[in-house]
Amino acid sequence: MNAPLRRAEIDLDAYRANLDLVREWMDPVELMAIMKADAYGHGLEPIALAAVDAGIRWIGVLTVPAALRLRSIGVSEDVHLFTWQHDPALDFRDAIDSAVDLGVSNVPELQRVIDAVDQRPARVHLGFDSGLHRDGATPETWPALVSLALDAQRAGRIEVVAAYTHLAESSDQDDTDAVALFDAAVERADDLGLDIPTEHVAASLAGLERKEFRKDMVRMGANLFGIPGADGVSAADLGLEPVMTLTASVAKTKRVPVDTGVSYDYTYRTTTETTLALVPVGYADGVPRLAQGRIEVAIAGKRYPIAGRVAMDQFLVDVGDDDVRTGDAVVLFGTGEHDEMTVLEWGEALGTIGEEIVCRIGARVPREYQGHSVEGHVAEYLRGER
């Protein structure tokens, strides 16, 4: 058998199904599919092309280089690419010429955008800080940002496409207060003479739970990867499908006597004569050392805990007298259909969220794309034709 030792299977049909379902829920509100961090570790290009094949009109990718990468593989200007975290030394010229949408939230940055304009106006979304205190103009700095945007728009150098904010999701009341601040900022812009054509505020959680925050567009990442954010709500509860399945092949098995110390520091000792199976996935691949004692993997539909320390490249499981052999498939997380844990459960077990788990699956884990959507643009990309 020739399966790679470790792999992340990416089910593009599942992504597509999630996209269709979420669009149905949000209708008639526009959906921006968020794909920052290499599409949450799933691989930017195939995910983006699958979304484009499904007719998506808005994609959020965080940075200009990622957006230009999508333009370079043929994502046309019919698809708006939103970016909002910019290197302070970035020259915005290529972004503007490629019609990449720029989230801008302070005067010096907006000035740099305006200065870079050449052939066509820059498409700008004005970012407002409604309480998260990351980027975004504060209520104090907002009027100056709006005034500069207004002047630049009148001079034909920029087009103000939208205003946006991002919520802290700390409590319903905090989010209500944040959106009230945002609404006041949009009103302030209007008073200053700037019309804001589009407003976007909500991400996965608020987009589902706070209908009144959907405004003109919601920006969703996690839901589309089948990782819902609400406490105690599984993907299956919502009809969403986890997109990534992390699997490996048993690399070796070894019969060992009772009281054998296993892996670094001997934090695990066998309690009987038993078989150890070597799973060739380690913390370099995104299985945290913390997973010992918290994570179980599935082999042939049965769960086994990690035995001993997770090492950089591997860990062991104690399979007792079960007939586990070299080459057998080990499912670390997936849809849950074959009795494996889901990434949401990994997040809970490890004191984090599923997003962190999928984003940290290492670069040496090959992503294998599956599903009937491996046609059209995605197929061309995977064949190296884009």
Ligand X SMILES: *Cc1c(COP(=O)(O)O)cnc(C)c1O
Q: Which of 8, 14, 34, 59 binds ligand X (CB under 6 A)?
A: 34
**Kind of pairing, strands 58-62 and 30-34?**
parallel
Of 222 and 331, CB closest to ligand X:
222
Least distance CB 127 / ligand X (angstroms): 9
Single-letter code of the amino acid located at 185: A
From the number of C-beta atoms within 10 Å of its C-beta (0-12, 13-18, 19+), residue 178 rates as: buried
Q: Which of 219, 309, 367, 377 binds ligand X (CB under 6 A)?
A: 219
Residue 59 within binding range of ligand X, rule CB under 6 A: no
| 264 in active site | yes
In a 3-state reduction of DSSP, which class is residue 375? Answer: coil
Strand 329-333's sheet: what is its strand order? 252-256, 274-279, 315-320, 302-307, 296-299, 329-333, 244-249, 6-11, 367-370
Using CB under 6 A as the binding criterion, the count of chain residues that bind ligand X stands at 10
Q: Which of 264, 283, 304, 369 is catalytic?
A: 264
Least distance CB 278 / ligand X (angstroms): 34
d(CA 42, CA 56): 18
Residue 18 within binding range of ligand X, rule CB under 6 A: no
Q: Which of 203, 243, 250, 278 binds ligand X (CB under 6 A)?
A: 203
Strand partners, 259: none
Of 36 and 294, CB closest to ligand X:
36
Least distance CB 350 / ligand X (angstroms): 18
Q: How many CB atoms lie within 10 A of CB 254?
A: 11
Which residues lie closer than 8 Å to 69 by C-beta, 6 or more apart?
A: 44, 45
Of 87 and 323, CB closest to ligand X:
87
From the number of C-beta atoms within 10 Å of its C-beta (0-12, 13-18, 19+), residue 232 rates as: exposed
Strand partners, 102: 83, 124
- H/E run at residue 252: strand 252-256
Query: Which residues within the stretch 126-185 sit at the binding site for ligand X (CB under 6 A)?
Result: 166
Of 227 and 316, CB closest to ligand X:
227
Of 37 and 319, CB closest to ligand X:
37
Residue 128 · residue 185 · CB < 8 Å: yes
Strand partners, 164: 127, 200
Of 228 and 371, CB closest to ligand X:
228
Q: Which of 26, 75, 179, 222 binds ligand X (CB under 6 A)?
A: 222
- Piece in contact with ligand X (CB under 6 A), picked from 220-228, 243-251, 276-284, 326-334: 220-228
Query: Which residues within the stretch 302-361 sit at the binding site for ligand X (CB under 6 A)?
Result: none
The secondary structure of 293-335, three-state, reads: CCCEEEECCEEEEEECCCCCCCEEEEEECCCCCCCCEEEEECC
Strand partners, 30: 217
Q: Which of 221, 226, 354, 371 binds ligand X (CB under 6 A)?
A: 221
Least distance CB 205 / ligand X (angstroms): 6
Q: Which of 26, 220, 243, 331 binds ligand X (CB under 6 A)?
A: 220
Residue 204 within binding range of ligand X, rule CB under 6 A: yes
Tell me how far the alpha carbon of residue 295 is from its chain's centroid. 22
| 15 in active site | no
Q: Which of 36, 40, 252, 254 is catalytic?
A: 36
Of 52 and 203, CB closest to ligand X:
203
Residues at the site binding ligand X, with contacts judged by CB under 6 A: 34, 36, 166, 203-204, 219-222, 229
- Please list the active-site residues: 36, 264
